[in-house]
Each structure stands twice: as C-alpha cells, then as structure tokens.
Amino acid sequence: MSTAAEDIATKFYQICPVQKGNPVISFHVDYRNGFVVTGLASGAVDAWPLPIELDGTISIDNVEEQKHEINTAAKGQDLNSANKKYCKYYCRRLIESDYETVRHVHVKHNNRIVSVVGDRYLREWQSYSAKHSTLKEYHFTRNIHSHTENCKFAQIVGHKNSMILYRKYGTKKLIYVNLDNLNQQRHITLLQPLTKDEFIMSFDGERFVTKKLNHDNGQKEISLFSIAAPHHHHHSNGTAAATDMLESKSNASTAVDGAAVARDLGLHWILNRSSKEYWGFQLNAEAPDRIVYVTNQNILKCYSIARKAVTQKLKGHSNFIVAFQHLKEYVVSIGTDKCVRIWDVKNKPDFKANCIYIRRKIPGHFVPGYLYKIVMHSNHVFYTSDDGIFAFQWK
C-alpha cells in the first residue's frame, strides 16, 4: 500500500489548462503568495493557485478563485464521470487579452505583477486582487524607431527581474529594463549593430549571447557581450578568470552619446557548417564560465568560456529536446520522448555528464520547434506543453 508521500512523489499536477492555439509563453512561480502567474499568446495573464502538495498556501475553494472559474468543457458538451473532475480549474484572471502576446511575466518583491506586452508596453497590477492595471511605455529615444516600422524584427529576452529589448537589426540601440523598478530603464549602445541573421539567444542579467549566421561559409559565430561596468563581476572558485580574460580583450569605452556600451567580451566562438541545428546557448550568472546549448536535436553540451572548448556532453534523450534550464549545478531538460532529465554538471571531470534523475511518460503534448519552458525550483519541476503547465516533485 502506497503512502501519501509516495503518491505525491509520483503524481503530476496540471496547473494551467490552455486552449489549442493559445499557449503559455511565460510563467513565474510565486511561492511567497502561493500562485503560478502565466502569460499567454493572447495576452491573457492569470494567477493559478499552487497545489498544496507543491508548497501552495491557497485553497482552490477560496471565494476569490471561484469568481474566476475556468471551465474547459466546450459549450453544450456533456462530460462523462471520468472527465468531470478535470473540467474546472480556478484562477484569478488579471486580464482576458491584450494588444499583443505576453513575452515575460514577473512578480516584484512588493507583490506587484508585471507583464511584458509584445515590444511596446509594460503592464502592472498592484496586487493579485487588483481590478485594474497600469500601462507603461518604454523610454525610447529617436534613435530607436517606431513599433509599426520594426516590430517584425524585435527581440526581447527576459531574465528573472530584468530584460533587454532590441527593436531592429542594423541599429545600435537596445534598452535594459529593471522589472522591479519600471522607471529604471537604460539605453545600451552596441559598437557594431546586430545583422539580420544575428539573434540574442540568452541573457543572465549582465551578459548576453548572440548567434550569427555567415551565409558565405555556413559558419555560426557565437559572441558574448556585457552590459555591466568593467570588472563588475565577483565570482569565487576561480571562475572570474573566464570573465577577466575576455574583458581584457574588450573595448574600454563605457559610454557613447550618453548611453552605456555593450562590451564585446571577445568570445568569437565558431561553429563550422553542419547539418546539425544549434540552439539555446543559455548563460547562468552563478556559473559564469559555462554556456549550455543543444546540438543534433537531442544532445546538450557544456562549453567552457575560459578553455574555449566543450567540456561536457549530456546525452540520453531519444528524441527532440524542446526546452532546458541551465542552473548553477544542474541542467534540466525535457523532450518529445516524454522524458524529463536532470543532469549534474558541477565541476565534474568526466566528459559525459551524470544524469541523476529521469521522469518518464510525462503528460503533455510537444511539437519540435515550438516554444516551451521548463523550470526547477528546489524539489519541484514545472514545464509548459501544448496542454498548459504541469508540475511534479522530483525529490
């Protein structure tokens, strides 16, 4: 006979059901208030109570949630008894839809909720019970062109409580936004503008990675930039060497026309022409020497900035990897093989990384190339699928 602890350890929780064609783009797990905040492609922003078994604190029988009941059954459709318990999910709907897709959501320390709406607006709610929100625009200069002219090329990369926005290739301007203080926005100048085939892949709050395709020889160049002041990094265990080595090659200039300069840290990592697809290139400020990326669709690799070489190979998924998260000591990945894997990558001399946990037959539907997200918080894992957000306890 299984115990309650064993049942929790093997159970999956569907937190946020979604309609087909309206996927979850971003989510924020707010343990402090007991909610998972979601932003959808339609612009909708919802707050879903965390299950009690996942350290939630709010009962779904609460009157506030009942007012915002989401019924997933089609109108006029009768539910059989087997599906009846899945027909109702409770949430606080902050907004039904918005001008554009939600690109990022964040909960501030003062419990205000922020939604990044397309590349035009920031929307803020005072609390989870707020009936109205405030719309804020970015502090652009004339050098950053209008939305209608350039939205097709906009790139937004969010990282926890910050984000960077790049409006159009061929210009040198991007903007940094502190989502904990929306008035704290600063312009960053690139010494060389991004090209049409160059994209910002990830951002760790201070550094960002770009990938550029060279059409002449098929090579892909990976570059690393910093928006922090020179020698601002303070890392232990010798990891500062990677940053210091690159910064010694970077441009010493700190301002152009009053704007801070994004310093090229001199990585210039070249991936030769190949039939393999490379994507991800995630940074983590707590592991500053490591970049994690996907190659050959189902293999993850760890690249050392200081050594300029791949140091670990994470091989185990039998099909496409659709999302992963780069943490200080772990990498969490999810694939169309219906598996979640957790890899131990901390200071291991072995080239083949150790997979310390596998969760098979996970619920949800995935399509290679679509946008998904997986996040590990302590002993819980949350991930998106075409069916919404699922979560489970892994230890």
Give the pLDDT band (50/70/90) at residue 154: confident
Give the pLDDT band (50/70/90) at residue 230: low
The answer for residues whose C-beta is within 8 angstroms of residue 95's C-beta and 6 or more apart is 43, 44, 45, 115, 123, 133
Structure tokens at 324: 């992963």
pLDDT at 254: 56
> What dihedral angle (degrees, nearest 10) is formed by the CA atoms of 243, 247, 248, 253?
-160
Q: What is the average pLDDT value for the chain, to the nearest integer?
A: 84
Parallel, antiparallel, or unpaired: how do β-strands 102-107 and 340-344 relate? unpaired
pLDDT at 249: 45
pLDDT at 378: 87
pLDDT at 257: 57
What mean pLDDT comes out for the span 70-76? Answer: 51
56 residue type, one letter:
G
Structure tokens at 184: 């704290």
Give residue-wise pLDDT tens across range 253-276.
Answer: 455 555 789 999 999 999 998 888
3 residue type, one letter:
T
Which range in 49-58, 258-267, 351-360 is most confidently predicted, on average pLDDT? 351-360
Least confident of 28-42, 138-152, 204-218: 138-152
Q: How much is the pTM?
A: 0.85
pLDDT at 286 over 90: yes
Q: What angle do CA 218, 223, 229 make, to 5 degrees?
A: 165
Give residue-wise pLDDT tens across range 307-346.
Answer: 999 999 999 999 999 999 999 999 999 999 999 999 999 8
pLDDT at 395 over 90: no
What mean pLDDT comes out for the span 144-172? Answer: 76
pLDDT at 231 over 90: no
